[in-house]
């Protein structure tokens, strides 16, 4: 009987990674958020400064940041100008999924942080042979760790929130909690600390008057990075699986190996 692996993310970008293991496990994808663009004066200022070559580097922290940046440029009728301006700076993305999204949308990617973690991204950026003005295109709930570390290393940082995350209440989440309660889930994967916060919010809302941690007795809990492990640990749940490098491919491979 095949194992059931629940990944707390949309299928986009993950399904192709899981496909080689479909004979070993059934994969369930449970999105926890909806994202909306943050098209405001901050993005206007970013576009203007980008067009006059104020920035030396632009960091796009995930495929969602890429998608919303492109869509907002399209809505403003500035796509060609945006792509031209971006071609003149060092464009840095996290992992192959972000790189694929950026290239598909016409962006020239200069370098790729090899792991999907803040620690890896900081190290990657600070290994560049220069310092200068850098713009961070990311969520409006992004951690202060990244801009603080870059500022300490000599960068002049401009944060540009390009999307906002809202918790998504869905039938998929309710079904996942049902299956956890019925001991039908063999592994549960948390890609980021935000996914852990969202999941445990839903979990404790559902099991308000009981201790839900017992639901994980027979579940292999997997995380992508040290930041996410610390977050899950903080909720009193033991982490069983974490890859040596924070990549989606290695995470899935380690889950299958564990099971």
Residues in Cβ contact with 138 at an 8 Å cutoff, skipping those fewer than 6 apart: 59, 60, 61, 62, 65, 159, 160, 161, 162
223: Cβ–Cβ under 8 A, 6 or more apart, which residues? 189, 190, 196, 229, 232, 239, 241, 242
**pTM for this model (two decimals):** 0.80
- What integer pLDDT is reported at residue 115 of this predicted model? 84
Which residue positions in the chain have pLDDT lower than 50?
none
Work out whether the CA dihedral 86, 160, 41, 105 comes out positive or negative.
Answer: positive
170-207 pLDDT, tens digit each: 889 999 999 998 999 999 999 988 899 999 988 888 87
The whole-number pLDDT of residue 125 equals 96
For residue range 74-94, what is the model confidence (pLDDT) as tens digits?
Answer: 999 999 999 999 999 999 998
Rounded Cα gap, residues 137 and 118, in angstroms: 14
> Could you give the angle at which helices 118-126 and 145-152 cross, rounded to 10 degrees?
20
- Please report the domains of the chain, with CATH numbers, ordered by start residue: 3-32+168-258 (3.40.50.10090), 35-164 (3.40.50.10090)
């Amino acid at each position: 009987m095949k194992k059931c692996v629940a990944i707390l993310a949309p299928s986009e970008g993950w399904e192709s990674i899981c496909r080689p293991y479909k004979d070993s496990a059934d994969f369930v994808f449970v999105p926890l958020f909806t994202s909306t663009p943050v098209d405001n004066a901050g993005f206007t200022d970013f576009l203007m400064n980008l067009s006059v070559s104020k920035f030396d580097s632009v960091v796009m922290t995930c495929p969602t940041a890429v998608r919303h940046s492109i869509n907002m440029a399209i809505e403003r009728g500035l796509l060609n100008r945006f792509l031209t301006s971006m071609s003149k700076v060092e464009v840095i993305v996290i992992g192959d999924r972000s790189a694929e999204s950026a290239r598909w949308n016409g962006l020239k990617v200069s370098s790729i942080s090899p792991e999907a973690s803040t620690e890896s991204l900081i190290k990657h950026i600070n290994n560049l042979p220069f310092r200068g003005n850098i713009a961070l295109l990311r969520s409006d709930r992004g951690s202060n760790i990244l801009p603080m570390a870059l500022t300490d290393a000599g960068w002049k940082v401009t944060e540009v929130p390009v999307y906002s995350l809202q918790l998504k209440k869905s039938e998929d989440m309710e079904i996942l909690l049902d299956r956890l309660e019925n001991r039908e889930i063999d592994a549960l994967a948390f890609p980021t600390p935000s996914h852990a916060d969202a999941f445990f919010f839903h979990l404790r809302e559902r099991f308000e008057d009981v201790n839900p941690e017992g639901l994980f007795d027979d579940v292999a809990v997997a995380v992508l990075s040290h930041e996410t492990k610390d977050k899950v640990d903080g909720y009193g749940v033991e982490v069983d699986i974490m890859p040596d490098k924070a990549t989606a491919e290695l995470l899935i491979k380690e889950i299958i190996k564990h099971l």
